[in-house]
Amino acid sequence: MIILQHHRRPPSATDSLVQQVGQRVFVIVCVTRETQHHCLVFFHAREVSSFHRMDTTPAFPTLRVVSHPLVQHKLSLLRNRTTPTKIFKELVDEIATLIAYEATSELALEEAPVETPLERMTGKRVSGKKLTLVPILRAGLGMVEGVARLVPAARVGHIGLYRDHDTLEPVDYYFKIPGDAAERDFFLLDPMLATGGSATAAVTSLKRAGATRIRFLCLVAAPEGIHRLAETHPDVIVYCAALDRELNEHGYILPGLGDAGDRLFGTR
């Protein structure tokens, strides 16, 4: 294990150092500009040579930021105000696939007999609970196909919520998930975690219906939303592509990407 002290460098600057060392590394970074809400960020590069690269920080214990270069590249295209609806939709789909890859990395495996053309062997398969994807309408719909590409047997539930423009509190209008909720793993999908009101309400509804294992997959999260969700549901791990700076006075994430639903469906 090696401790590196890095001052005034963005988190991405640690990547090359981690790769040079080529083993398990803990990196302590003092960040001044990118994450103003806390000054000490802790990154743990678990498998330096593999695809797994999720950043964690003690200030947000339930958060996993997927820092893979492709995710970060696509996210910048998504944020760009000139990106047209068609491309925006494709990018949400692609980033959802990449985040789902990380979010499924801790699914349990069991041994499975396989007969190859040459001989019998013992392979592996995902064990245990059945997976259910639950998009929060509307914008969560944009992530469903991207996640389902990796887990095509997953069932899909739906939760209808919209944020009241004045109070910013969620208003629910639809709920439908498979009946055997207690036996399932849930991936709740919504590109934006802003005040956290919608995510918190959606998790509460899922738990009321019997769900016990829920992960929340989003693209951009605000510190306020992470904290609010964690206060009520500390068991729910949040996977995202970026932890942004803050909310503006209208509850929009800064720098963010605007209104995800409107940009996905071309309704503005």
Residue 109's alpha-carbon distances to 102, 123, 124, 127, 253, in angstroms, are 15, 10, 6, 5, 37
Considering only 77, 104, 130, 162, the residue that binds ligand PRP (CB under 6 A) is 162
Q: Which residues pair with 163 in a beta bridge?
A: 170
Considering only 252, 264, 265, 268, the residue that binds ligand URA (CB under 6 A) is 252
Residue 14's alpha-carbon distances to 19, 61, 116, 242, in angstroms, are 9, 21, 42, 17
* Interface with ligand PRP, residue 225, by CB under 6 A: yes
Has 235 been annotated as catalytic? no
Q: How far is the CB of 79 from ligand URA (least distance, A)?
A: 11
Site for ligand PRP in 227-256 (CB under 6 A): 251
* Interface with ligand PRP, residue 147, by CB under 6 A: no
Task: Give the Cα-Cα-Cα angle 167, 169, 175 (nearest 5 degrees).
Answer: 145
Amino acid (1-letter code) at residue 3 = I
Set 149, 155, 163, 245: catalytic member: 163
Count how many Cα atoms sit within 13 Å of the Cα of residue 243 in the half-sphere of its side chain.
27
* Interface with ligand URA, residue 96, by CB under 6 A: no
Task: Give the Cα-Cα-Cα angle 200, 138, 94 (nearest 5 degrees).
Answer: 95
For the window 36-65, what string marks contact with ligand URA as x by the rule CB under 6 A? ------------------------------
Interacting partner of 253 out of ligand URA, ligand PRP, none (Cβ under 5 to 8 A depending on kind) = ligand URA
Site for ligand URA in 172-211 (CB under 6 A): 192, 194
Strand order in the sheet with 40-45: 3-7, 25-30, 40-45
Has 167 been annotated as catalytic? yes
Considering only 27, 194, 206, 241, the residue that binds ligand PRP (CB under 6 A) is 194
Size, binding site for ligand PRP by CB under 6 A: 23
Residue 131's alpha-carbon distances to 64, 112, 136, in angstroms, are 20, 19, 16
* Interface with ligand PRP, residue 260, by CB under 6 A: yes
Set 24, 46, 164, 167: catalytic member: 167
**Counting Cβ atoms within 10 Å, is residue 160 exposed (0-12), middle (13-18) or buried (19+)?**
middle
Residues belonging to the active site: 163, 167, 259, 262
Binding site for ligand URA (CB under 6 A): 192, 194, 251-253, 256, 259-261
